[in-house]
Amino acid sequence: MERAQAFMENFIGNWNGDFPNYPLTAEDLKKPHAVMGALLQVLDRLGIDTDVVLAPPPKEDRNENTIYYWDLLPVINMTRVINHLVSVMPQVEATISIVHFLQPTATTSHSILLLLFNLMVFNEEKMRNIAPYEEELFAKTGEVKALEEKKNRLLEMLNEQAEEKGKRAGRLEKLDHDIKVFEEELKQEKEIHDEEKLELEVIQKENKQTEMIIEQKKSHRDALMAEVARKRALRVYDADDIKAQAEQATQNLQELEEKLDSLRAILMQKENSLKNLQTIKPNLDSANNLLHEIMKLSDSLKDFENGDLDTDSKEGELDVLNTELGELQAQLSELQAARDDAARKRAESQAKRQQERTVAHSSLREAEEKDKKLRERSKKALQRTEEIKELTTKYENEKTAGIEQLATIKNNFCTELKTMEELLLKKVVEAEKKVEEKLKNRHPVKEQTDHLIVSNRCRPLTPETPAALQVCSWPFGVSNLGIVGESGIRKGVFLALSVCCDAKYFKTHCDLVHELRKQKFAEDKMRDWVCLIDSESGRRTDVIGGPNKNGSRDYGLFQINDNFWCSNSTTPGKGCRVTCADLITDDITKASICAHKIFRRQGFPAWHGWTKRCQGDLPDISDC
């Protein structure tokens, strides 16, 4: 009994040392509210959200009987949490019920609190052992960041090269399109040229035939003249006869030439007459038809004269004949006008054909010049295409080299990372073994001591303090680690660790709005958040406010209070389950999650800056 009492007193002493804000006595172990409060303190240190433990079940899980045990819901939830923690401990076989909390005894309360207290101490010790390896791993973040930047630069280079390749491809497509257009135009011009060439060949053939006929006529004339000369040479005349015959022949020749000229003129007149006749033949036919009708009318007039001389007078007949004569003269004038019009049209058609022939010759010359220019442009385009192909080949080679370099960097990084992970896992296993050995070799403590497993707070160093590992931690600044001997003289090493906080300042409202959108802040509340951040931190992530009246401080962009929401130790805890150091880095992800949580529970009035300055006009972010 005395031994159990000593154990209980030892536990209470260790508890009061670790939880000075919530001290316990032996009598408190028999009070339900005191036991529940102590359990909530331990759960908070374990990183379990106490609000979840105290919260009622969701509406869809409730029934009509829930209202009857509404006040017991926190106790029920606490029972479930502790049973779950006990279930994952194979060496512990126990079941906690509601009775242990509603009617606690010193023994049961001591057992439950001792079990959870040891679990808390074990977890914190384990985290402290892993911390150096985490720092070593995080120290590699700079190298990882440099490699990622190098990777991003290479990707940007690849993107630029791809963009240039796309532009070159576009230019090649445009050149191909232009070449096709020029080829189509050249094809059309060649077709026109071939048609004109065929027409010219037909005309040339006609000219050749005409020349051949002329040559035949000339050769026939020469043969006749030669025959006449030969026959004349066979005849023998006197000089006078010869002279007379020559004069006669000359005279005959002149007469023949005159006759020939007259015949030619007559032939031309006949041809013209024939053409005119062919032109006026339709008119003559119509005139013949009219004359035929006139003859019929005259016959009918004669019959009419013979049959009815008494009824008609000569004057009426004369008027009828004069009228018909006038109509015939009008028709004759119309025929002459039609003939003149036909002659004019014929002359116009001849002029038009001549003009078309001239235009065809000029078009042919222009087509030849265009063909020459198109050939030159095609040659230049082919040369440019070859140059672009060479550049494309060069780009593909550079791209292949860049991809190989990226693959090499990636493989090296993965190898190093795997090596670091293996070393870290090895160190963690060794640390776990050491902690287990210490727990196995631990002896019962009859007096209050600063043992590693029972205490992780800084205590005053006195000669009575046994050798123990003392860790003094603050959220920022310097941490001291040392070993103290029996004489009170510090032995071992002094380790100064500096926690770096990378600050960030949002220069404009738009920069802040863009970052808040990345963190999923509601668009309809965006102006309130911008005003709140302006009022609380001036858009800086490294601001530490306070101290407040209760001694607490506010941290980061959203000025989150450490009394309720963030832990001042290296272990994440309290409402947001983060350390206060996490809230003053340039990465506002954790701070944003915490701000969302505060807003869901308390709304904007949780921030005094918003209450004082953001109830009226809000900043304009319409341009963002």
Q: Does the structure show a pLDDT above 70 at 589?
A: yes
The CA distances from residue 111 to 48, 114, 118, 483, in Å, are 20, 5, 11, 31
Cβ neighbours of residue 460 under 8 Å, at least 6 residues apart? none
Condensed to tens digits (0 to 9), the pLDDT of residues 556-588 reads: 999 999 988 999 988 898 889 999 999 999 999
Q: Are residues 24 and 44 in the same domain?
A: yes
pTM over 0.95: no
Q: Are residues 57 and 20 in the same domain?
A: yes
Distance CA 143, CA 149 (A): 10
Q: What is the mean pLDDT of residues 80-92?
A: 78
The CA distances from residue 91 to 50, 115, 593, 602, in Å, are 26, 12, 37, 42
Please report which confidence band the pLDDT of residue 281 belongs to, taking 50, 70 and 90 as the band edges. Answer: low
Instruction: Give the H/E segment covering residue 585.
Output: none
Q: Are residues 495 and 603 in the same domain?
A: no
Q: Does the structure show a pLDDT above 60 at 491?
A: no
Domain membership of residue 64 (yes or no) is yes
- Catalytic one among 18, 124, 189, 536? 536
Q: Which of 124, 79, 125 is nearest to 104 (CA)?
A: 79
Q: Are residues 135 and 1 in the same domain?
A: yes
More confident residue, 233 or 411: 411
Please report which confidence band the pLDDT of residue 332 belongs to, taking 50, 70 and 90 as the band edges. Answer: confident
Domain membership of residue 171 (yes or no) is no
pLDDT of residue 470: 32
Q: Are residues 53 and 91 in the same domain?
A: yes
* Domain region containing 525: 504-613
pLDDT of residue 527: 92
Domain membership of residue 189 (yes or no) is no
Q: Are residues 598 and 479 in the same domain?
A: no
Q: Which residues pair with 573 in a beta bridge?
A: 578
Domain membership of residue 425 (yes or no) is no
Distance CA 253, CA 78 (A): 152
Long-range pairs for 325-332 at CB < 8 Å and ≥24 separation? 328/290, 328/294, 331/286, 331/287, 331/290, 332/287
Q: Are residues 72 and 19 in the same domain?
A: yes
Q: What is the mean pLDDT of residues 523-545?
A: 92
Distance CA 279, CA 99 (A): 136
Domain membership of residue 466 (yes or no) is yes
Do the Cβ atoms of 339 and 283 come closer than 8 Å? Answer: yes
Do the Cβ atoms of 588 and 556 come closer than 8 Å? Answer: yes
pLDDT of residue 446: 37
Condensed to tens digits (0 to 9), the pLDDT of residues 209-253 reads: 888 988 888 888 888 888 888 876 765 545 566 677 777 777 877
SS3 of residue 578 by DSSP = strand
- Catalytic one among 28, 44, 534, 554? 554
Domain membership of residue 14 (yes or no) is yes
Q: Does the structure show a pLDDT above 70 at 300?
A: no
Q: Does the structure show a pLDDT above 80 at 161?
A: yes
Domain membership of residue 414 (yes or no) is no
Q: What is the CATH number of the domain that holds 13?
A: 1.10.418.60
Q: Are residues 529 and 560 in the same domain?
A: yes
Last-in-domain residue among 139, 168, 192: 139
Q: Are residues 510 and 485 in the same domain?
A: no
Domain membership of residue 66 (yes or no) is yes
Q: Is 554 a catalytic residue?
A: yes
Q: Are residues 495 and 511 in the same domain?
A: no
Q: What is the CATH number of the domain that holds 529?
A: 1.10.530.10
Amino acid at residue number 52: V
Q: Are residues 508 and 486 in the same domain?
A: no
Distance CA 619, CA 528 (A): 8
Last-in-domain residue among 139, 159, 189: 139
Q: What is the mean pLDDT of residues 72-80?
A: 85
pLDDT of residue 528: 93
Number of domains in the chain: 3
Distance CA 610, CA 616 (A): 10
Last-in-domain residue among 440, 468, 499: 499
Q: Which of 57, 53, 35 is nearest to 44 (CA)?
A: 53
Please report which confidence band the pLDDT of residue 526 belongs to, taking 50, 70 and 90 as the band edges. Answer: very high
Q: Is 536 a catalytic residue?
A: yes
Q: Are residues 604 and 512 in the same domain?
A: yes
Mean pLDDT (the chain) is 78
